[in-house]
A and B are shown apart, each in its own frame.
Chain A
Amino acid sequence: MIDGEAEAIANAKQAAQASNGFINLVRRAIEQAWILPASATNQLRAVVRIQLLPTGELVSARIIESSGDGVFDRSVLQAVERAAPFRELRELPLAAQSQFREFNLDFNPKDVRR
């Protein structure tokens, strides 16, 4: 019984670590691909919902919360498209993979100094 629980903990922990690794990877890839518009300010924020295939390829990316600024919204969609695919999804434990078939990206520039 105790062994079973220990194993469950270990699996869950591993899945969580793998998930965190994937999250960091997605974040880094998108931050690199996101060309901040010259007009961007830290007042702007947009949320994009993305869907991935099990292979990590992008099925769709759409704005679910607009910044109200067309240039900013377009820049975040282009960033997702440029950064995709996220092939490392395939390397996640099966259990973890399913959570990343669909998730949100919250573009919320904090380091913009203009």
Chain B
Amino acid sequence: MKRVVSVMVGLWFALYISLASADLTIEITKGSDQAIPIAIVPFATPEQGTLSEDIAQIVSDDLARSGQFSPLSRSSLIAQPNRSEDVHYRDWRAVDSNYLVVGQVTPEGDGYRVQFELMDIYGERRMLGEVVNVGRGQLRSAAHYVSDKVFEAVTGTRGAFSTRIAYVTAQGAADNRRYALHVADADGHNSQQILSSQQPILSPAWAPDGNKLAYVSFESGRSAIYIQDLASSQRIQATSFEGINGAPAWSPDGRKLAMSLSKDGQPEIYVMDIASRSFRRLTDNSAIDTEPDWAPDGQSLVYTSDRSGGPQLYRYNLANGQAERITFTGSYNSRGRFSPDGKTLFLVHRDDQGFHVAKKDLGTDRLTILTDSQWDESPSVAPNGSMVIFATQQGNRGVLGVVSADGNASYRLPSAQGDVREPAWSPFMN
């Protein structure tokens, strides 16, 4: 008995020692997926209220829309510093902010000098300090630039706030519709109409250099694919075969266009060499083959085919000419779009509730539905892979929505332009 007791004391003592030793380690295996709190102080301006744009507000809106940040409201800003020298880190700990952005705008030459700094509150460290010079009308661009830099410094992922989107609008009733192709900033501002027609326009696709758009227009009375230079507005007609000329998709090197042509009877996938205008036919069957998209490495394409009965995604290997079906969940999977790292496909998936944007992990094959309204389609991925823009319906009108790649955050882009559809997110512009 006594021996047993001694052993037990010994055991407790051993535990005691191990606790007391310098190597006590607590394992943390879980975290929270809440958004990162960040304080963005209104930028100092030369004369209060004279600037046409509120840079801090634009940055705050950009970061909030990404779903990864939770900017503090202006009323909870505990101080209004404009330079890191004036920052008291303790103040910002008190309001539970992990990061702080401060800055100032001063007139310089014909435009402005925008200075900004980013601080890690708990690390009590300035992470970023930069100056950008912009023209008079470019304050929004400057703000998006600040958002890009802050996003990258904090998350490690390049920001995509300075990118653009293309989209199509339709206005008017059945017999009197007008279609138009627009290009705007990624947040929907600064929209410009680049084409208008009484016949349908669809499937805009950005060239990898961000300077050109390919699209389908019915302005000649039938479908044709055009390539338009955005700066000069000059364009060429790439194809106008009998039947469908649809779904243009640029190769990553910008030299080829994959597309769907039905000139031989039913829609097949072709690759057109833009310079030589030569074609390579990839598919040959009696099904609808359409909506091609290139893998980022240019070695394969994904496309929609209903050869199995309903639309499903297939992947075509350009080296060996083999195609394999890659979607099996559900009876409708179409319009696949690769993530920039090529590891994920975003697509349209139908379930009992309707059509949703979903993503398929190409490694694990898992399919995750990202959006929950009934009419979600046309997903297009931001060049940093963090967000997906898509077309949806709101109050019987087509609108654009954006959802984060993890599905946790989403928002709608405001529009006053009738029915909005067919969004395409540009590549990085700089």
Beyond A77-B123, A81-B122, whether A5 also contacts B156 by CB under 8 A is no
B-contact bits for A26-68, CB 8 A (1 contact / 0 none) = 1100111111111110000001000000000000000000000
Interface residue tally on B, bucketed by range:
35 or more
Across the A-B interface, how many residue pairs have beta carbons closer than 8 Å? Answer: 125
Beyond A77-B123, A99-B19, whether A108 also contacts B29 by CB under 8 A is yes
Contact at A36–B2, with CB atoms within 8 Å?
A: no
Contact at B26–A106, with CB atoms within 8 Å?
A: yes
Contact at A114–B406, with CB atoms within 8 Å?
A: yes
Contact at B156–A107, with CB atoms within 8 Å?
A: no
Contact of B34 among A5, A35, A40 (CB under 8 A): A35
B-contact bits for A12-36, CB 8 A (1 contact / 0 none) = 1101100100010011001111111
Contact at B27–A108, with CB atoms within 8 Å?
A: yes
Contact of B12 among A13, A35, A100 (CB under 8 A): A13
B264 at the interface (CB under 8 A from A): no
Contact at B27–A99, with CB atoms within 8 Å?
A: no
Query: How far apart are the CA atoms of A35 and B19 in the complex, in Å?
Result: 28
Q: Enumerate chain B residues within 8 angstroms of A99, measured Cβ to Cβ.
A: 19-21, 24
Q: What is the distance, in angstroms, from B69's C-beta to the closest C-beta of chain A?
A: 10
Q: Enumerate chain A residues within 8 angstroms of B26, measured Cβ to Cβ.
A: 23, 26-27, 30, 103-106
Contact of B8 among A9, A102, A114 (CB under 8 A): A9
A-contact bits for B1-41, CB 8 A (1 contact / 0 none) = 01001101100110110011111111111111111100000
Q: What is the distance, in angstroms, from B164's C-beta to the closest C-beta of chain A?
A: 23
Q: What is the distance, in angstroms, from A53's C-beta to the closest C-beta of chain B?
A: 17
B284 at the interface (CB under 8 A from A): no
B-contact bits for A70-112, CB 8 A (1 contact / 0 none) = 1100111111011000000000000110111011111111111
Beyond A35-B98, A39-B156, whether A2 also contacts B30 by CB under 8 A is no
Contact at B9–A5, with CB atoms within 8 Å?
A: yes
B155 at the interface (CB under 8 A from A): yes
Q: What is the distance, in angstroms, from B424's C-beta to the closest C-beta of chain A?
A: 24
Q: What is the distance, in angstroms, from B147's C-beta to the closest C-beta of chain A?
A: 16
Q: What is the distance, in angstroms, from A75's C-beta to the closest C-beta of chain B?
A: 8
Contact of B16 among A15, A34, A47, A106 (CB under 8 A): A15
Q: Which of B145-204 contact A (CB under 8 A)?
A: 154-157
Contact at A35–B406, with CB atoms within 8 Å?
A: no
Q: Enumerate chain B residues within 8 angstroms of A109, measured Cβ to Cβ.
A: 28-31
B91 at the interface (CB under 8 A from A): no
Q: What is the distance, in angstroms, from A69's C-beta to the closest C-beta of chain B?
A: 7
Contact at B156–A69, with CB atoms within 8 Å?
A: yes
Contact at A38–B386, with CB atoms within 8 Å?
A: yes
Contact at A104–B154, with CB atoms within 8 Å?
A: no
Contact of A38 among B16, B25, B68 (CB under 8 A): B68
Q: Which residue in chain A gives the minimum CB-CB distance to B16?
A: A12
Contact of A105 among B5, B25, B36 (CB under 8 A): B25
Contact at A96–B32, with CB atoms within 8 Å?
A: no
Contact of A104 among B6, B23, B68 (CB under 8 A): B23
B130 at the interface (CB under 8 A from A): no
Query: How far apart are the CA atoms of A32 and B28 in the complex, in Å?
Result: 10
Contact at A34–B5, with CB atoms within 8 Å?
A: no
Contact at B406–A34, with CB atoms within 8 Å?
A: no
Q: Enumerate chain B residues within 8 angstroms of A112, measured Cβ to Cβ.
A: 31
Q: What is the distance, in angstroms, from A35's C-beta to the closest C-beta of chain B?
A: 5
Query: How far apart are the CA atoms of A95 and B15 in the complex, in Å?
Result: 13
Q: What is the distance, in angstroms, from A12's C-beta to the closest C-beta of chain B?
A: 4
Contact at A31–B122, with CB atoms within 8 Å?
A: no
B96 at the interface (CB under 8 A from A): yes
The interface of chain A, by Cβ under 8 A from chain B, is 2, 5-6, 8-9, 12-13, 15-16, 19, 23, 26-27, 30-40, 47, 69-71, 74-79, 81-82, 95-96, 98-100, 102-112, 114
Q: Rank and list the top 4 A-B pairs by shortest CB-CB distance, nearest first.
A: A12-B12, A36-B31, A81-B122, A34-B31
14 CB < 8 A contacts A-B: A12-B12, A19-B19, A38-B386, A47-B25, A74-B123, A78-B122, A81-B122, A82-B98, A96-B19, A99-B19, A100-B24, A104-B26, A106-B25, A109-B29
